Structure 1
Amino acid sequence: MIDALTLDQLRAFVSVVEAGSFRGSAKRLSRVQSAVSYSVGNLETQLGVTLFDRSGHRPKLTPQGLSLLAHARSILLKVDAMRARARELGEGVELELSIVIDSLYPMPWIMEALHAIRRSYVGVSIRLEVLPLGGPPAAIQEGRVTLGILAGEDLTDSRIELEAMHSHSFVAVAARTHPLAAAAEDLDTLEAVVLAEHVQIVLSDPTQITEGRDFGVLSPTTWRVNNQETKYAMIRAGHGWGRLPHWVVDKNLASGELVRLPVVALGLGGQTDVQFYLARRIDRPLGPVARAFREAILANHASGT
Structure 2
Amino acid sequence: MLDALTLDQIRTFVAVADSGSFRAGAGSLSRAQSGVSVAVANLEAQLGLLLFDRSGHRPVLTPQGEALLADARDILLRVDAMRARARGFGDGVELRLSIVVDTLFPLSAVGAALAGMRAHYPSVAIRLEVQPLGGPLQALTDQRCTLAIMVGEDFRDPRISFEALSPVSQVAVVAAGHPLAAGRGLGVPDLADHVQIVLSDPTALSEGRDFGVLSPQSCRVTSQDAKHALILSGVGWGRLPLWLVEDDLSSGRLVRLPTTALGRDGQVQAQSYLARRLDQPFGPAARSFAAALTESCRA
TM-score by length of 2: 0.69
The CA deviation string for residues 255-295 of structure 1, in whole angstroms up to 9 with x for no partner, is 11100013323211110001100001111131100000001
Measure the CA separation in 2 of the matches of 1:300 and 1:236.
Answer: 30
Q: Which residue of the partner structure matches residue 248 of structure 1?
A: 244
Whether 2:96 is the aligned partner of 1:96: answer yes
Measure the CA separation in 2 of the matches of 1:102 and 1:263.
Answer: 26
Structure 2, unmatched stretches of 5+, are: 1-89
Amino acid at match of 2:160: I
Whether 2:276 is the aligned partner of 1:280: answer yes
Measure the CA separation in 1 of the matches of 2:168 and 2:232.
Answer: 21
Measure the CA separation in 2 of the matches of 1:261 and 1:271.
Answer: 9
Whether 2:156 is the aligned partner of 1:156: answer yes
User: Mean alpha-carbon deviation: is it higher for 223-232 or for 90-99?
Assistant: 90-99
The CA deviation string for residues 185-240 of structure 1, in whole angstroms up to 9 with x for no partner, is xx2x3211101110000000000000111111111100000000000000000000
Q: Which residue of the partner structure matches residue 129 of structure 1?
A: 129
Measure the CA separation in 1 of the matches of 2:112 and 2:206.
Answer: 31
Q: Which residue of the partner structure matches residue 110 of structure 1?
A: 110
Aligned length: 210
Q: Which residue of the partner structure matches residue 82 of structure 2?
A: none
Q: Conserved in 2, the CA contact under 8 Å of 1:190 and 1:263?
A: yes
Q: Conserved in 1, the CA contact under 8 Å of 2:147 and 2:274?
A: yes
Measure the CA separation in 1 of the matches of 2:103 and 2:259.
Answer: 22
Measure the CA separation in 2 of the matches of 1:275 and 1:262.
Answer: 24
TM-score by length of 1: 0.67
Q: Conserved in 2, the CA contact under 8 Å of 1:101 and 1:130?
A: yes
Amino acid at match of 1:276: S
Given candidates 264, 267, 273, the residue that maps to 2:263 is: 267
Given candidates 199, 206, 230, the residue that maps to 1:234 is: 230
Amino acid at match of 1:154: D
Instruction: Trace 1:57-76 onto structure 2 (pairs within 5 A).
Output: none
SS state at 2:229 partner: helix
SS state at 2:261 partner: helix
Instruction: Trace 1:166-245 onto structure 2 (pairs within 5 A).
Output: 166-183=166-183, 187=184, 189-245=185-241
SS state at 2:271 partner: strand
Measure the CA separation in 1 of the matches of 2:115 and 2:242.
Answer: 24
RMSD between superposed Cα atoms in Å: 1.2
Instruction: Trace 1:4-83 onto structure 2 (pairs within 5 A).
Output: none
Amino acid at match of 2:107: M
Measure the CA separation in 1 of the matches of 2:257 and 2:289.
Answer: 36
Q: Conserved in 2, the CA contact under 8 Å of 1:262 and 1:268?
A: no
Using the aligned pairs only, state the percent identity. Answer: 55
Amino acid at match of 2:225: E
Residue 153 of structure 1: how far off its partner (Å)? 2.0
Q: Conserved in 2, the CA contact under 8 Å of 1:132 and 1:204?
A: yes
Q: Conserved in 2, the CA contact under 8 Å of 1:167 and 1:273?
A: yes
Residue 152 of structure 1: how far off its partner (Å)? 1.0
Deviation >6 Å, runs of 4+: none
Query: Which structure has the larger Rg over C-alpha atoms?
Result: 1
SS state at 1:223 partner: strand
Q: Which residue of the partner structure matches residue 298 of structure 2?
A: 302
Measure the CA separation in 1 of the matches of 2:115 and 2:283.
Answer: 18
Residue 91 of structure 1: how far off its partner (Å)? 5.9
Measure the CA separation in 2 of the matches of 1:285 and 1:276.
Answer: 22
Residue 92 of structure 1: how far off its partner (Å)? 1.0
Q: Which residue of the partner structure matches residue 86 of structure 2?
A: none
SS state at 2:92 partner: coil
SS state at 2:236 partner: coil
Residue 154 of structure 1: how far off its partner (Å)? 1.4
